Amino acid sequence: MAAEIAPVDRRITRSKRALRKALIELTEECGLDGFTVNDLCARADLNRGTFYNHFHDKDDLLAVLENEVMDDLRRFNEEINKLTLLDLAKIKLAKEPLPLLVGLFDYLREQGDFLCAMLGPGGDAKLGQRLRDSLCTDLILGLLHEQYRSDPTPFVQYYVSFYASAYLGVITRWLECGMKESSEEMARIAIRLLFIKPGESIKL
């Protein structure tokens, strides 16, 4: 028999969920610098004591939520790093989306409200940098030939930086536009963008 979740654990989960929702709403309305812990608690319908039982301040709440996302994304990074050229060749021949990327976009969709708020104009610019420097960079490195993955030459580093920033732009646009494309379609777009050649028709 599965262990029952203690009432106190459920209360903590509900409180954290309410604070997450309040943080997203207030960030979109006022920007991160435009509200206080009092505002957060009022919006979440929680008292300050409940907040301070779990978080030092607003920045601590933000850090906890962002770190949870980054920890989850680390799973995808580990799988991305295992990709080989043979894996990519099989996907390209089959014209099927890479399952790993489908799973990644599924997760990004689940976190869409939080990511959209934090990557927006009133959000946390540091989160975008973290996504670019970890998730997007690892994605590009995973798609490169093995001989280039640890190549320190400037051109390779510029190549990786260019595409990592571009992929962050793709993710941000998808979030901002309401995530209308399916995860499968976004997985196809992600691969297609990397391999499109100059002068080639820009079609999926």
At 34-91, the pLDDT tens digits run 999 999 999 999 999 999 999 999 999 999 999 999 999 998 888 887 877 777 777 7
At residue 154, the pLDDT reads: 92
Place of tokens 């990004």: 108
Which residue type occupies 107?
Y
Q: How far apart are CA 137 and CA 83, in angstroms?
A: 14
At residue 2, the pLDDT reads: 46
26, 43 Cβ separation under 8 angstroms:
yes
pLDDT < 50 positions in the chain = 1-3, 5
> What does the block give as tokens for 168?
């962050």
Query: 3-state DSSP call for residue 34?
Result: helix
> What does the block give as tokens for 45?
């319908």
pTM, full prediction:
0.86
At residue 5, the pLDDT reads: 47
Q: Among residues 32, 34, 38, which one has the least CA distance to residue 62? A: 32
